[in-house]
Chain A
Amino acid sequence: MKFIHGVKADVTADIVYMMCPMHLLKLDEMIKGLEKGQVLEILTDYDGALEDIPQWCVRTGNEFIGMDEDEDYYKFYVRKAGNGQ
């Protein structure tokens, strides 16, 4: 897993306390609304996202930039690719 700090996101989706599969649905919904190259930040406390979000990026062709941790949730960063969903 790639840990990064200080990434500036264009849009944030806060789904802390929401369970599976909200992280994937939100990711899919939000990324559709972005322009190529824009960065989405997803805030979630769901542990399954640690595997699911990088895998989702591989599957859809979007770039998984990395993740960060706050006190009680994770921050995931995804850049919309030109050929991504």
Chain B
Amino acid sequence: MSKCYFDHVATNPLNPEVLSAMMPYFKEDFGNPLSVYDLGMRARDAIEKARSEVASLINAKPSAVVFTASGAEANNFALRGIALAKQNQGKHVIVSKVEHHSILNSARFLEKNGFVVTYLPVDKHGLVDPDTVKNSITKETVLISITHASSEIGTIEPIKEIAKIAKQNNIVFHADGVATVGNIPVDVNDLGVDLLSMAAHQFYGPKGAGALYVREGLRIVPLIYGGIQEGGRRAGTENVPAIAGMGKAAEIAKSELDKRMDNCKKLRDRIIEGALKIPNVYLTGHPEKRLPHHASFVVEFIEGEAMLLMLSMKGIYAASGSACSSKALKSSPVLLSLGVPTALAQGSIVFSLGAGNAREDVDYLLGEFPQIINRLREMSPFAKGWGEGTEGEKCYTG
């Protein structure tokens, strides 16, 4: 049986070159980067090299990159750090409804602590309208945070336009780049963002390493207090192997980006074309403005989890919306915000591609997927009468 991994937005396998770059810091170069002797110096050098490589991937100055333990930490750091630093100027924050939980839950934390948060609606493709951002700004607004792309629906947001609006109004702008950095070109200067989150395992680096880009001169309150690591902005002895791995992964991502995107895009389009031939299967997210490695759908009358289970029995690994909603068997708030009906949102499925996927994998998927859907529909009470000319539940026409 083939094994086809189509869940690259969940995580990626570690690039073997990245593992090699990490190994010395597990073994002979195990020193604490703050130690004055040579062991410490070598660990320190590894961190600074990684900082330069990560900065180069997003066209930033190395000093603007703060390493964290994850993309979620970077998002928490951005929202809480900027909101607290700016609270004397105002207590209003703007986010969208298609943000990752690490943004939405940080926003909820801020609400519990006296901030007012606006959750911006999106259109049926998941796009934030820059005019809506503009109209939501008040005298109290100190921070806008919009995802660069949603890992659930793949839609790439108009970050450049929103950044311009933020700048015109002297408001700090953060973009969650966890799904984009290393997967599509990201240039912090071209985008005009003040802060940008990223995670190494989204581009074949290790888990346990992330970073927040913080534009020079921007004050931010640390999330973790302690030592002087990361210039006092993020305390804790650094995860040197993971940071070194993130740097190597960034270096490789920069050189292979075009090739990776081209390969994924072809396969993605093939999946979309094939899946949409199945009756009552609908694409979620934007048809064009979407991540090159992302194909997401809702399938009428059946449940995402059941599809995942049957696909996995065939050696095909995919996802059903965000990991959190999926585990909680909860309708995805992102899909509901697009106007997808609650029952249909339960039939969410996401295929995300990576460097290891080939055309044969996609052909195998497209051979199995329609059969799995048919078998599940045969068992589904919601599909009763479907296919016999009787009306089923109202379908999503997005």
Residues of chain A at the chain B interface (Cβ within 8 Å): 14-19, 21-22, 25, 71-72
- Docked-complex contact A19 and B225, CB < 8 angstroms: yes
Residues on B with C-beta less than 8 A from A22 are 228, 231-232
Per the bound structure, the CA–CA distance linking A28 and B372 in Å amounts to 66
B interface, CB within 8 angstroms of A:
85, 88, 217, 219-222, 225, 228, 231-233
Q: Given A19-B222, A19-B225, A22-B228, do A14 and B88 touch, yes or no (CB 8 Å)?
A: no
- A21 and B228 contact, CB distance less than 8 A: yes
With contacts A22-B232, A25-B228 taken as known, whether A17 is within 8 angstroms of B219 at the C-beta atoms is: yes
Question: B221 to A17, Cβ gap below 8 A?
Answer: yes
CA distance A15 to B220 in the complex (A): 10
Which B residues touch A21, using CB under 8 A? 228
Cβ-neighbour of A14 out of B219, B221, B222, B228 (below 8 A)? B219
Cβ distance A13 to chain B, nearest Cβ, rounded Å: 11
CB distance from A2 to the nearest CB of B (A): 26
Q: Contacts A25-B228, A71-B88, A72-B88 given: A18-B233 contact, CB under 8 Å?
A: yes
Closest to B225 in A: A19
Among residues of A, the one whose C-beta sits closest to the C-beta of B85 is A17
- Given contacts A18-B231, A21-B228, 16 further A-B pairs with CB under 8 A are A14-B217, A16-B85, A16-B219, A17-B220, A17-B221, A17-B222, A18-B222, A18-B233, A19-B222, A19-B225, A19-B232, A22-B228, A22-B231, A25-B228, A71-B88, A72-B88
**Which A-chain residue is minimally distant from B216 (CB atoms)?**
A14
Bound-state Cα–Cα, A66 to B351, Å? 62
* Interchain residue pairs with CB less than 8 A apart (11): A14-B219, A15-B232, A17-B219, A17-B220, A19-B222, A19-B232, A22-B228, A22-B231, A25-B228, A25-B232, A71-B88
Name which residue of chain B comes closest to A25, CB basis. Answer: B228
Nearest Cβ on chain B to A48's Cβ, whole angstroms: 13
- Which of A15, A17, A72 has the most CB atoms of chain B within a 10 A radius of its CB? A17
A25 vs B221: C-alpha distance when bound (angstroms): 18
CA distance A21 to B227 in the complex (A): 8
Chain A residues whose C-beta falls within 8 Å of the C-beta of B225 in the assembled complex? 19
Whole-angstrom distance between the Cβ of B82 and the nearest chain A Cβ? 11
Indicate whether A18 sits within 8 Å of B217 (C-beta atoms), given known contacts A71-B88, A72-B88. no
**Chain A residues within 8 Å of B219, by CB:** 14, 16-17
Nearest to A22 among chain B residues (CB) is B232
Residues of A within 8 A of B232 (CB): 15, 18-19, 22, 25
Shortest 6 CB-CB contacts between residues of A and residues of B: A22-B232, A18-B232, A17-B221, A16-B219, A17-B219, A19-B225
Task: Point out the residues of chain A lying under 8 angstroms from B221, CB to CB.
Answer: 17
Bound: A18/B217 CA distance, A? 13
Which residue of chain B has the shortest Cβ distance to A18 in the bound complex?
A: B232
> Which residue on B lies nearest to A73, using beta carbons?
B219
A46 to chain B minimum Cβ distance, whole angstroms, is 10
Within the assembled complex, what's the spacing in Å between the Cα atoms of A14 and B216?
10
Task: Give the complex CA separation of A22 and B222 in angstroms.
Answer: 13
Residues of A within 8 A of B217 (CB): 14
A71 to B, closest residue via Cβ: B88
The complex places the Cα of A48 from the Cα of B219 at a distance, in Å, of: 19
> How far is the CB of B100 from the nearest CB of chain A, in Å?
25
What separation, in Å, do the CA atoms of A18 and B235 have in the docked complex? 10
Query: CA of A72 to CA of B221 in the docked complex: distance in angstroms?
Result: 13
Q: How far is the CA of A29 from the CA of B119 in the complex (A)?
A: 43
- In Å, the complex CA distance between A8 and B69 comes to 40
Distance in Å: Cβ of B157 to nearest Cβ of chain A: 29
List the B side residues contacting A71 at CB < 8 Å: 88
**Chain A residues whose CB sits within 8 angstroms of the CB of B233 once the complex forms:** 18
Distance A14 CA – B232 CA, assembled complex (angstroms): 12
A35 to B149, CA, bound (A): 47
The smallest C-beta distance from A19 to any residue of chain B, in angstroms, reads: 6
Q: How far is the CA of A51 from the CA of B233 in the complex (A)?
A: 22
